[in-house]
Amino acid sequence: MSVVIKVENLSKQYRLGDVGTGTLSHDLKRWWYKARGKEDPYLQIGEINDRSTKGESDYVWALKDINFEVKAGEVLGIIGRNGAGKSTLLKILSKTTAPTTGKVKVKGRIASLLEVGTGFHPELSGRENIFLNGAILGMTKQEIKSKFDEIVDFSGVERYIDTPVKRYSSGMYVRLAFAVAAHLEPEILIVDEVLAVGDAEFQKKCLGKMKDVSVNEGRTVLFVSHNMAAVQGLCSYGLVLSNGGVIYPKGNAYEAIELYRKSIIPKNNSNKDFKNANRTGNRVAQLESITFLNALNEEISTINCGENISIEFQISSKVSVTGASLGIGFYSLTGECKLLLWSTFLNVYFDFISGVNRVKCYIEKFPLTQGEYSINLILTSNEEVLDWIQDSILINVNTGDYYNSGKMLESNHQTAMIPHEWIKI
């Protein structure tokens, strides 16, 4: 297959707090260096794009020395934290913005869906915007007409097709924009997280269409999403960005997802506090720590499949809380829930005093097989979320003799064990 996108030593620098490249003195200095055949002096400074730390420089590298290539018909998932540089990369590939240094070679027409309203004129109707987008892609009026009914049917906005798009909801905008981008036959389709605006049914429809255009029509797709299940289902290749750089060069999508998930989930240290956790809820009561214990009540950092364990939670409450419930979910590194334990399943509820509270969950013969699992925690009361922590920690499960049969079964056989018996009848 021929290479349709080639990125070489690509970098993008921004000056913080200003529109443009900075002050007049900076522009004059750039001109003076250029006139003498020297490199832009401001390319020699700047910091990596780490949002969590305070910088010392006015310049930041949103992207730094990016290299990869994409062949015709490939579906590449680009993943990373917020601020990793994903959207900047797509904007450069879409020629919405120019790189500071490096080269991008693109072979073929590009249709991009980077944010709600991209490429649409708000005063024009949906019908007029379809023809406008087609003309921008270099299609004839007759070619657009032949695709028009299919576009409108896919988008589901037929009733409003002659209404100015400025009156569309964000969901309607995305529906029509994706339908246009997918059906007007570009060689390369670039889709950012914008699909998250649509409902679940439409997201599924879009993923199916992207798979169809890549597999059956041989077109190239670049897909950015925080939905790892969608990336795994759609993409054959993955690229992981962090702080503007590549931490996993283009390769197997499953391995890329695993590396990304590991990079964002704290490792279990037996007694984990959640001071800097990614959490939501009213936090009238909140989870403070989690501790894994073996059958001897000793703290453990890994779990053996089939062993008896308990999990102890420390919860602080600002006021007295009645009817609280606690849940813990074990998720694979690609985001699928493998085990969910919730006190409400057993009609067990807790009353918390104002101050420190402790809750313990006993698990007989831990059922999950060998692997690494992300832990999600949720604390509720009267159907109201008090505290919800996603990807709180990463816990490792070792292989074990679950059935006491002398066989150590590993995860390539199954995800979970269950008690059962065999008899001849």
Q: Which residue has the tokens 């059922």?
A: 367
Query: What is the number of other CB atoms lying within 10 angstroms of the CB of residue 369?
Result: 22
Which residues are CB-contacts of 4 (< 8 A; sequence separation ≥ 6)? Answer: 70, 71, 72, 106, 107, 108, 187, 188, 220
Residues facing residue 274 across a β-bridge: none
In the structure encoding, which two tokens stand for residue 343, read together?
């006190």
pLDDT given for residue 89 in this prediction: 92
pLDDT given for residue 27 in this prediction: 66
Cα gap 148→391, rounded to integer Å: 44
pTM over 0.95: no
* Residue 379 parent element (H or E): strand 371-381
Nearest CA to 272 out of 364, 348, 377 is that of 377
Cα gap 238→233, rounded to integer Å: 12
pLDDT given for residue 133 in this prediction: 81
pLDDT given for residue 412 in this prediction: 65
Cα gap 4→187, rounded to integer Å: 9
In the structure encoding, which two tokens stand for residue 255, read together?
């391995």
Cα gap 49→97, rounded to integer Å: 18
Q: Report which residue type is found at 339.
A: L
Q: What is the pLDDT of residues 387-396, one digit of tens each?
A: 999 888 889 9
Q: What is the pLDDT of residues 190-202, one digit of tens each?
A: 888 766 666 777 7
Measured CA angle at 41 (ends 101, 249), to 5 deg: 30
Cα gap 312→314, rounded to integer Å: 7
pLDDT given for residue 32 in this prediction: 67
Cα gap 67→133, rounded to integer Å: 30
Q: Give how far Cα 217 sits from Cα of 15, 70, 222, 252, 370, Å.
A: 42, 16, 15, 22, 39
pLDDT given for residue 57 in this prediction: 61
In the structure encoding, which two tokens stand for residue 224, read together?
């950015």
Which residues are CB-contacts of 40 (< 8 A; sequence separation ≥ 6)? Answer: 30, 33, 34
* Residue 213 parent element (H or E): helix 200-215
Determine whether 305 is exposed, middle or buried from the number of CB atoms within 10 Å of its CB (0-12, 13-18, 19+).
buried
Q: Where are the beta strands (DSSP E) in 203-301?
A: 220-224, 237-242, 245-252, 271-273, 279-280, 285-293
Contact by Cβ (8 Å): 55, 13: no
In the structure encoding, which two tokens stand for residue 419, read together?
């008690």
In eight-state DSSP terms, residue 30 is H
Phi first, then psi: give them for residue 348, nearest 5 degrees.
-105, 125
In the structure encoding, which two tokens stand for residue 185, read together?
């036959």
Q: Report which residue type is found at 211.
A: K
Nearest CA to 385 out of 376, 394, 393 is that of 376
Cα gap 18→14, rounded to integer Å: 9
Q: How many CA atoms lie within 13 A of 315 on its CB side?
A: 32
Nearest CA to 3 out of 120, 107, 145 is that of 107
Nearest CA to 85 out of 261, 266, 240, 252 is that of 240
Nearest CA to 306 out of 294, 320, 288 is that of 294
Q: What is the pLDDT along the chain (425 residues), one digit of tens a residue?
A: 689 999 999 998 887 655 455 566 666 766 666 776 766 665 555 545 555 555 556 678 889 899 999 999 899 999 988 888 898 999 899 888 888 889 999 998 888 877 666 678 889 999 999 998 888 777 788 888 998 999 899 888 899 999 999 899 888 888 888 888 888 778 898 888 766 666 777 778 888 888 888 888 888 999 988 888 788 888 889 999 988 899 999 999 988 988 888 887 766 544 467 877 778 999 999 999 999 999 999 999 899 999 999 999 999 999 999 999 999 999 988 788 999 999 999 999 999 999 999 999 999 999 999 888 999 999 999 989 999 998 888 899 998 888 888 888 766 667 888 888 888 89
pLDDT given for residue 270 in this prediction: 45
